Chain A
């Protein structure tokens, strides 16, 4: 059983479309992080959300942490081909300091 479930697993859209990807768990997390990984590279940290209900914006990307701190979402407005990549969420549940990653959402944005 995966501690962090990400959905959808794959997403293929046209440039200009909006999309939302999800990261869900039955555990409470003190924080969740989102990363983007491009082919042949390591994951790059996009944002960390810490407070339940928190919303953070990074240009066209909007991140939200659930009120109960068990889930998070990433919304991309007007997707561009440069947004193509694997989006990973990560967190350490409860009092653990051992982080775990979700399996990721693979996004392809076609020109």
Chain B
């Protein structure tokens, strides 16, 4: 069983479209995250939810909207996709807000906007 699973693995779409990425974890963690990794491999946090409550919301265009229906799921919806949104998006989870226990990452969703 995959601990943190993301779908889809690859997503190719045209500018202006709306798309969603889904994430599920079966580790019993109560905190989940979305990270964006750019072409230079830099990982930057976008959002974090703790027990369905948004606790981190970094400087991200409001075209990006996370949703957490329960503590095991965190989805990312992106409206009006732009070329600059092309990146790999990682979902991660941890035991608590104290992420020093360590993240478990999903295998990523490679988004390509054409």
Contacts and interface: CB of A to CB of B under 8 A. Distances in A.
B56 A98 contact: yes
B114 interface: no
Nearest to B35: A101
Interface residues of A, number: 25
Contact of A42 (B42, B44, B100, B105): B105
B105 A97 contact: no
B98 A97 contact: yes
A31 interface: yes
Interface of A: 30-31, 33, 35, 37, 40-45, 48, 50, 86, 88, 90, 92, 97-101, 103-104, 106
Interface of B: 4, 40-45, 56, 58, 90, 92, 97-108
> Sorted from nearest, which 10 A-B pairs have the closest CB atoms?
A42-B105, A101-B43, A45-B102, A31-B100, A43-B105, A42-B107, A42-B90, A41-B107, A103-B42, A104-B41
